[in-house]
Amino acid sequence: MTATLDFPDHSTMPESALGLLAQAETGLAEAELEDNSAQRFATTYLAALRAAAALLALRGRPHRARSRPMSVWTLLSSVAPELREWAAFFASCSATRASVQAGITRAVSTRSADDLMRQTGQFLELVARMIRGSRDQ
pLDDT means per 10 residues, the chain with 137 residues, are 46 77 97 96 97 91 65 92 96 96 94 97 96 58
Which are the contacts of 13, defined by CB distance < 8 A and separation ≥ 6? 58, 131
pLDDT, position 65: 53
- In this prediction, residue 25 carries a pLDDT of 97
Task: Tell me whether residue 32 is in a domain.
Answer: yes
8 in any annotated domain: no
∠ CA 105-29-82, nearest 5°, is 85
Compute the distance between CA of residue 74 and CA of residue 83 in angstroms, rounded to an integer. Answer: 11
pLDDT of residue 36: 96
Structure confidence at residue 97 (pLDDT): 96
Structural domain boundaries, residue 53: 13-61+72-132
4 domain-assigned: no
119 is a domain residue: yes
For the chain, how long is the longest CA-to-CA vector?
47
Residue 137 in domain: no
Tell whether 66 is covered by a domain: no
Q: Is residue 67 part of a domain?
A: no
pLDDT the model gives residue 64: 61
Q: Is residue 113 part of a domain?
A: yes
Q: How many domains does the chain have?
A: 1
